[in-house]
Amino acid sequence: MQCQQLLVQWLSWSIILAGLVYFVCFLKSHAAYGRYMGTSSDSRMVPARVAWFIQELPALLLPVLLLLTTSNSHQMGKWLLLSTFCLHYFQRTCIYSLLTRGRPYPFNIMVSGMVFCSVNGFLQAHYLLHCNPHSHVHLSDGRTLIGMLIFFTGMAINIHSDHILRNLRKPGEIAYKIPRGGMFEYVSGANYFGEIIEWLGYAIATWSVPTFAFAFFTVCFIGPRAYHHHRFYTEKFEDFPRSQKCLIPFIF
């Protein structure tokens, strides 16, 4: 497949613009799912495990298909970098979706997430495999190694934080509790912090406009949700530690 440079540029800037729109909209009013889903909502609901699986699957499936149909095995570095992208979405699709205990998910939000994952999955895979101007990605390069270290650090924080959140309540309990342990000792949005760190690290490792566009979108999309979660905790729990930050340890 030849590089579709104009398509790559258009999709990258579209993701950046979408991130800005989401940031402005969600900073004022939170997205209507999870704890913010109104009881009187008319939205068609999907079980959380099914919704997360369907939503995240395209971001795993499309890169894998492009990997399997691209015969440039001499560019192993690129394959390994894209495999880290696939690793995240394998975890989200095949592990997180099976373990989540979240509330039913609005159908329209699931569909919009599936569309984004499809577009972004294609963009990241197509660019790295067919458009990257460098014939090789050297894993011995300092920037690549630092980026991968940041990526896997963020992934570990994200997975561990999700584990803490899943085990906050016993089966049958519905009351919200303050998450404790791990990065939750520093920020109330530890799971979001981990995911942001992941994609910033991936962007540094790959050093491309599409990956920086995705990292930017991630900050804009889940940053406001972390802010609303933090405000929820401070308003609901009198014993919530007031020194704890929202998303960035010791800063914000």
Where along the chain do its domains lie?
5-236
Stretch among 15-29, 82-96, 133-147, 177-191 having the lowest mean pLDDT: 133-147
Q: Per-residue pLDDT for 2 more than 80?
A: yes
List pLDDT tens digits, range 69-126.
887 645 677 788 899 999 999 999 999 999 998 888 899 999 999 999 999 999 999 9
CB 20 within 8 A of CB 224: no
Angle among Cα 161, 198, 14 to the nearest 5 degrees reads 120
Q: How confident is the model at residue 68 (pLDDT cuts 50, 70, 90)?
A: confident
**What's the mean pLDDT when you consider all of the chain?**
88
When mean pLDDT is compared across 76-85, 182-191, 193-202, 215-224, the lowest value belongs to: 76-85
Res 170: pLDDT = 77
- CA nearest to 195, candidates 37, 57, 16, 56: 56
- Give the pLDDT confidence score for residue 133 in this predicted structure: 65
Q: What residue type is assigned to position 159 of the chain?
A: I
**128 burial class (0-12, 13-18, 19+ CB within 10 angstroms)?**
buried
Instruction: Report yes or no: 1 and 70 within 8 Å, Cβ to Cβ.
Output: yes
User: Which is higher by pLDDT, 107 or 37?
Assistant: 107
One-letter amino acid at 216 equals F
Residue 208 in 3-state DSSP? coil
